[in-house]
Structure 1
Amino acid sequence: MSRKILVLYYSAFGHVETLAKAVAQGARSVEGCEVDLKRVPEIVPEAVATASGYKLDQDAPIADPSELAAYDAIVFGAPTRFGNVPAQMRNFMDQTGPLWKAGSLIDKIGSVFTSTGTGAGNESTILSFWPTLAHHGMIIVGLSYASTGLYQIDEMRGGSPYGAGTVAGNGSRTPSQVELGLARDQGQRVAQLAVRLAPEDK
């Protein structure tokens, strides 16, 4: 049976959105997987978001917290806000209490990727997300050094063994080919594990 993978992200300026598409591409490369790309709602008032230059015209549909139970694996993408996940993603996850109470995400795969302005928060943002996945009983998956881009130190890049990432700078820098490669690797790894670990009687 096909394994369902969700790439769920929040992106204010488009950097995480770009990584999310690469993660989905990597997951789709694995036979036997059905991949959806969705985003969490924006909670900043539209006038403020527009004045701040937020990218509001994103193609991915808005997700509902109740939908998470339908997936075998979920890859979450969120930028850093002072070393932590932003309120938009936190607000979405804070609505998953009914899923926690029902045990709906137990033994499903959870993984996280991120974007930072200067590189600070590259690891802490992902690590601050992991306890939420653990409370849901999810199997937490990062990258591994099988992703050779993690060895590349000849150029600025995001990403760590905890998950893919990009460095956005002042917002004008777009994800590099190395960073996109790490994102594809993460999506592929999650999908491969979903195929291997999901129960056969689903």
Structure 2
Amino acid sequence: MSSPRVLVLYYSTYGHIETMANKVAEGAKRAGATVDVRRVPELVPEEIAQKNHFKLDQSAPVANPEDLVNYDAIILGAPTRFGRLPSQMANFLDQTGGLWFKGALIGKVGAAFTSTGSQHGGQETTLFSLLTNLLHHGMVITGLPYSFQGQMAINEVEGGTPYGASTIAGPDGSRAVSTTEGEGASFLGEHVAKLTQRLVK
């Protein structure tokens, strides 16, 4: 088959998920995929976003729900909000009802990545809340396999779960994505691209 088309679709408040999205894209490209990185629209008024130090200077173009049909794989990324996906991503996915009705995403490959403020801040429940949307669309879901050995480490606090790549931002958002977490995101992108090559004809 020709090079699989992969969409990395994310929402990032402070830049952690933006960083992870680019790492995911690097991994998918390494596996030979054609990759687009897109973000969902910000719903918070600009004045409030600036006051709360949101990262508004993100280079990824804003996506349109109808664009999803153009890809063989879709990898969603979003931070946690009380253990679930944020309203910005939910709002975007709520607009894909027409695609669901037509079965437009059935058989495409899907995966997810996230960030939380603390080690136990809801990474796995947030990943599940993202993946549930893809399952309803009839997509083929994958997580972050344990062949990525970085998620087995216990010598320091790290993100990474079998349900998707993740990072820990810290309570005040000051912790940067670690090397291992970035490698996990890249591994996820490469894994999805390789899986897509096998499944999509």
**TM-score normalized with structure 1 length:** 0.97
Which segment drifts farther, 181-190 or 122-131?
122-131
Q: Secondary structure at the match of 1:196?
A: helix
Distance in 2 (alpha carbons) for counterparts of 1:101 and 1:38: 23
User: Where does 1:5-84 land on structure 2 (aligned, <5 Å)?
Assistant: 5-31=6-32, 33-84=33-84
**TM-score normalized with structure 2 length:** 0.97
- CA deviation profile, 1:59-93 (whole Å, cap 9, x unmatched): 00000000001000000000000000000000000
Distance in 2 (alpha carbons) for counterparts of 1:131 and 1:167: 22
Instruction: Find out whether 1:97 has 2:97 as its counterpart.
Output: yes
Distance in 2 (alpha carbons) for counterparts of 1:66 and 1:24: 21
In structure 1, the residue matched to 2:106 is: 106
Q: Secondary structure at the match of 2:154?
A: coil
Identity %: 53
- CA deviation profile, 1:99-151 (whole Å, cap 9, x unmatched): 00110100001100000001211111001222211110000110111001011
In structure 1, the residue matched to 2:137 is: 136
Distance in 2 (alpha carbons) for counterparts of 1:131 and 1:9: 16
Distance in 2 (alpha carbons) for counterparts of 1:135 and 1:160: 22
Alignment: residue pair count: 198
Q: Secondary structure at the match of 2:50?
A: helix
Which segment drifts farther, 121-130 or 8-17?
121-130
Q: Secondary structure at the match of 2:43?
A: coil
Unpaired runs of at least 5, structure 2: none
In structure 1, the residue matched to 2:88 is: 88
- Matching residue's letter, 1:53: H
Which segment drifts farther, 180-189 or 120-129?
120-129
Unpaired runs of at least 5, structure 1: none
Distance in 2 (alpha carbons) for counterparts of 1:164 and 1:57: 24
In structure 1, the residue matched to 2:175 is: 173
- Matching residue's letter, 1:35: V
Instruction: Find out whether 1:121 has 2:122 as its counterpart.
Output: yes
In structure 1, the residue matched to 2:187 is: 185
Distance in 2 (alpha carbons) for counterparts of 1:159 and 1:125: 13
